[in-house]
Amino acid sequence: MNTARRATVLRAAELYYAEHFTMEAIAKELGCSRATVSRLVGEARGAGLVEITVHREGRAASTLERLIAERYGVEATVVSPPERATEGERLLHVATRAAAKLRSTLSADTTIAVTWGITIATLARNLTPGVVPGLQVVQMSGSGNTFSSGAEYASGVFDRFGAVLGARVHHFPVPAFFDSAATKAALWAEHSVQRIVRLQQRADVALFSLGALGGGIPGHLYRAGYLDRDDLRSLTEQGVVGELGTVFLHATGSSTGLTVNERSSGLPIETLRRIPRRLCVALGEAKAPVLRAALLAGAVTELIVDTSAAEPLVD
């Protein structure tokens, strides 16, 4: 197999197995017939470019999807990364699947409210390029902290959406957490801030991941000076399991009674629930408690997770 042929075969396999394109969609993408796509995919398997693993331990992904849908009333997609995959590789598998799902459902004149973080950044890097007319992307919470504005990190995530999808990007240049609720209230009275908040509230789609208080890949929120040790200790003592866009959740799904949420720039859960489509992307067993809390809070309509995060949800 020469280099050019191998590249074509590999691209067809990636679109089919990793990005879950239909045969018709791949044919259109590659400029060939459906029969040719079928041969390319078969050739990829025969050449060893694709490995299919059946995981016999634990429940099958399709079973987990059905059980999650029945228990929580959401549309679930469960990804089964290779058994020996590293944390980074598992993240790539889930983010790539989520990127394909998001990309396939985008329509013209849509507004997406998006959080920032490692998972969403990986998703953004794996979006298939293509302009969506009238698409707007709005930052769902501030990113500033006591050490930096946070703009360099967050803007990289959102600018990627803009570059790949031809979207108009609306940044939210405020702190992730204010020093006091009064300071936040004063800034929220400004017209420039109100414009962004209105865009968030009127979004058609919300795209977010979740931050747990622990995990194999610590969230950016817990690594970059947004919270000190006393904050983390206090949150743990109050039964907090993690956050959704800088809004913290109890294990029960409640976000009330937490003073840190009064200082948060994140979209309140009750406001988030008014957005018609709410896509949550998460992976790893450590995310299960905060993932369950988000589901109990009614914050999710579509869920994309790996098997490690899915299993505890139905146990």
Q: What is the pTM of this model?
A: 0.77
Distance from C-alpha of 60 to C-alpha of 58, rounded to nearest angstrom: 7
Confidence (pLDDT) at 239: 86
Residue with tokens 């300071």: 183
Query: Is the distance from CB of 127 to CB of 164 less than 8 angstroms?
Result: yes
Q: Are residues 18 and 162 in the same domain?
A: no
Q: Are residues 156 and 287 in the same domain?
A: yes
Q: Are residues 94 and 35 in the same domain?
A: no
Highest mean pLDDT among 36-50, 203-217, 300-314: 300-314
pLDDT tens figures, 1-20: 777 788 888 888 888 877 77
Confidence (pLDDT) at 149: 45
pLDDT over threshold 90, residue 138: yes
pLDDT over threshold 70, residue 44: yes
Question: Quick one: how far is CA 210 from the chain centroid?
Answer: 8
Number of domains in the chain: 2
Instruction: Tell which wins on pLDDT, 108 or 219.
Output: 108
Confidence (pLDDT) at 56: 45
- CA dist list (Å): 79 to 26, 87, 157, 286: 21, 14, 23, 16
Q: Are residues 11 and 83 in the same domain?
A: no
Q: Are residues 30 and 178 in the same domain?
A: no
- Res. 267 pLDDT band, cuts 50 70 90: very high
In a domain? residue 57: no
Instruction: Tell which wins on pLDDT, 185 or 213.
Output: 185
Confidence (pLDDT) at 28: 87
Structural domain of 225: 63-313
**Mean model confidence pLDDT for the chain:** 87
In a domain? residue 183: yes
- Res. 60 pLDDT band, cuts 50 70 90: confident
Kindly list the strands in the beta sheet with 302-306, ordered across the sheet, starting from the edge strand earlier in the chain.
Answer: 75-79, 302-306, 277-282, 205-208, 111-114, 136-139, 168-170
Of 35-44, 150-159, 256-265, the poorest mean pLDDT is in: 150-159
Report the percent of the chain where pLDDT is more than 90: 57
- Res. 112 pLDDT band, cuts 50 70 90: very high
Confidence (pLDDT) at 144: 65
Buried b / exposed e across 59-86, counting CB within 10 Å, b at 16+? bebeebbebbeeebebebbbbbbeeeee
pLDDT tens figures, 190-225: 999 999 999 999 999 999 999 887 554 445 555 555
Q: Are residues 118 and 18 in the same domain?
A: no
Q: Are residues 13 and 87 in the same domain?
A: no
Residue with tokens 């902290």: 145
pLDDT over threshold 70, residue 127: yes
Domain CATH number, residue 30: 1.10.10
Tokens matching residue 244? 């959704």
Q: Are residues 37 and 116 in the same domain?
A: no
Q: Are residues 35 and 86 in the same domain?
A: no
Q: Are residues 73 and 154 in the same domain?
A: yes
Of 59-63, 221-225, 233-237, the poorest mean pLDDT is in: 221-225
Q: What kind and span of H or E run contains 205?
A: strand 205-208
pLDDT (mean) for 156-179: 91
Tokens matching residue 140? 């769902």
